[in-house]
Structure 1
Amino acid sequence: MSMPNSLLMDFTTPDLDRRFSGLDRLYGAGAWQSISQHHVVVAGIGGVGSWCAEALARSGIGHLTLVDLDHIAESNINRQVHALGSTLGASKVAVMAARVRDINPACQITEVDDFVDAGNIQSILADHPPGVLIDCTDQVPAKIAMILQARTSAWPMLCCGGAGGKTDPLSLRAGDLSEAAHDALLGRIRQTLRQQHGYPKGGATGGKPRQRVPRMKVQCLWFEQPVRLPEAWTAAAPQGLSCAGYGSSVTVTATMGLAAANWALERCLAG
């Protein structure tokens, strides 16, 4: 039996106040309207970045820039929110953008169908007023390029460490790059920044041990847990630092992605 027209709800026009009113009840009146005025760039729309973008969309972010050149593969389904049987082979950026529009039609979306590198990061950020940059990539050169660009710009940045080979989501830590432990990806970045880009070094100075390792002023997330190697690697050299090489779990990638989104939201709400 069909319902009278007077009882049918109108879902054709989104009620944004109703969709995001939970944020106002949590953070205070006007919170989601404040968030809606901010811009976040998410670089790397994979196991961590897809969950980060999803959380930002569900928090009413006003402008999202999504950066990735990759396409969805069947091996992504165990850990990436946009990876479904129906999206296999599609652009990660395009599929994520469609999800965001379905969640928050008012969100402005910039799709960058490219990998981040030293040659394009300045132009990616230069097209917009300063916002927040979330690095969810798993390649050292891309992460270095973003860190260096963020240092010379007004963009607060969060660098996400490796999620592959990790099993304990409760081991997630946040802090300065100088403090990160049990993360080979962040370890390589730290070494490169110190050796090639003048970032402060740890260890001894002037023949005397440092009382405290100097901060590098690069905010990071990492899982402080020894990596679990695949059995096939016990007799061979590791194949890489990404989830494509290590084993992976959605409980870990999603935890880091949601924490990264929260970091961005805190900065949006702070001003």
Structure 2
Amino acid sequence: MSDRIDGARAFGGLDRLYGAGALARASGAHVAVVGIGGVGSWAAEALARSGVGRIALVDFDHIAESNLNRQVHALDVTLGQAKVVAMAQRIAAINPDCRVQQIEQFATPDNLDAVFASAPHIVIDACDGVQAKTAIVQWCRTHGVAVICCGAAGGKTDATKIRCEDLAHTQYDPLLAKVRARLRKFHAYPRDPRKRFGVEAVFSCEAIQKPAHGLVCDAEPGSALNCHGYGSIVTVTATFGLIAAGRALHIALARAQPA
């Protein structure tokens, strides 16, 4: 730990909250966050502040002015930086002992073996694309890795409507509905709506707010996690990320304590 930061003092609240050994389990956890934007950046920050010992950051995008309203690493001084670089620097300032892997590429159905070569214990899927999200869920199932799948945060205003439930039972989220349909069609997930997928999903049960009168939306509302075209607010995107991080931490703390 940095000479300036006492790890036990900085993150000891975990042991006081969850019991002796919680910080050791968090320190032994390896979480990959795919998509370091309005949702994923907050998830990564929360993991770092919770003493998670290893975080893989996956994104090919760079910070732009349009990110300032909702992404934790977006600052005047970070404009133009790769998101994984800016996020890694931020994590290093919070938890210098956290091992951060910067994977500056988009996750696709064809590169997941390489993206997850470091063998994360848990994956937070905060990326945009239906095909990528579907592939991530299936990759995690195949490899026995826990995954939390984040739905669309754009077009939502009420953070109290955000829920975490099985992916089979999400509502008001066209993005996750498309992922669910592809999992059923191509990967034999249960078609019976009463049956669970065994995949945690973070979503908002609020109806999508279309763009204000006189404004134009380029994308179908709710069709992607990103917020281009139809409006977003940090109170919602951050809550998505914090809930996802909370679930990842819960899974990590349930794991056996490292030797």
- With the length of structure 2 as denominator, give the TM-score of the two structures: 0.92
Matched, 1:253 2:237: yes
Instruction: Structure 1 unaligned segments of length 5 or more: list them.
Output: 1-10, 203-211
Shift of 1:12: 4.1
**Residue of structure 2 in register with 1:177 after alignment:** 167
| Match of residue 138, structure 1, among 125, 128, 137 | 128
Distance in 1 separating the partners of 2:74 and 2:204: 24
Aligned length: 251
1:3-61: CA deviation from partner (whole Å, max 9, x where unpaired): xxxxxxxx843211111111111111221122101100000000000000000000110
How do residues 1-271 of structure 1 correspond to structure 2 at under 5 angstroms?
A: 12-128=3-119, 130-202=120-192, 213-231=194-212, 232=214, 238=220, 241=224, 242-271=226-255
Q: Secondary structure at the match of 2:32?
A: strand
The code of the aligned residue for 1:267 comes to: I
Q: Secondary structure at the match of 1:127?
A: coil
Q: Secondary structure at the match of 1:175?
A: strand
Distance in 2 separating the partners of 1:228 and 1:37: 41
1:80-123: CA deviation from partner (whole Å, max 9, x where unpaired): 00001110010000000001111111111111000001111122
Distance in 2 separating the partners of 1:105 and 1:237: 39
Q: Secondary structure at the match of 1:260?
A: helix
Is the 2:59–2:106 contact (alpha carbons within 8 Å) kept by the matching residues of 1? yes
Shift of 1:234: 7.8
The code of the aligned residue for 2:227 comes to: C
The code of the aligned residue for 2:206 comes to: Q
Shift of 1:199: 1.6
Distance in 2 separating the partners of 1:237 and 1:220: 22
Is the 2:108–2:131 contact (alpha carbons within 8 Å) kept by the matching residues of 1? yes
Name the larger-Rg structure. Answer: 1
Structure 2 CA distance for partners of 1:14 and 1:152, relative to 1, 3 Å: same
The code of the aligned residue for 1:120 comes to: N
Distance in 1 separating the partners of 2:46 and 2:218: 38
Distance in 1 separating the partners of 2:115 and 2:70: 27
Instruction: Structure 2 unaligned segments of length 5 or more: list them.
Output: none
The code of the aligned residue for 2:40 comes to: G
The code of the aligned residue for 2:220 comes to: P
The code of the aligned residue for 1:189 comes to: V
Q: Percent identity?
A: 48
Distance in 1 separating the partners of 2:90 and 2:149: 24
Distance in 2 separating the partners of 1:253 and 1:39: 23
The code of the aligned residue for 1:168 comes to: D
Structure 2 CA distance for partners of 1:143 and 1:236, relative to 1, 3 Å: closer
Question: What's the RMSD between the two structures over aligned residues?
Answer: 1.8
Is the 2:58–2:107 contact (alpha carbons within 8 Å) kept by the matching residues of 1? yes
Q: Secondary structure at the match of 1:152?
A: helix
The code of the aligned residue for 1:131 comes to: H
Q: Secondary structure at the match of 1:158?
A: strand
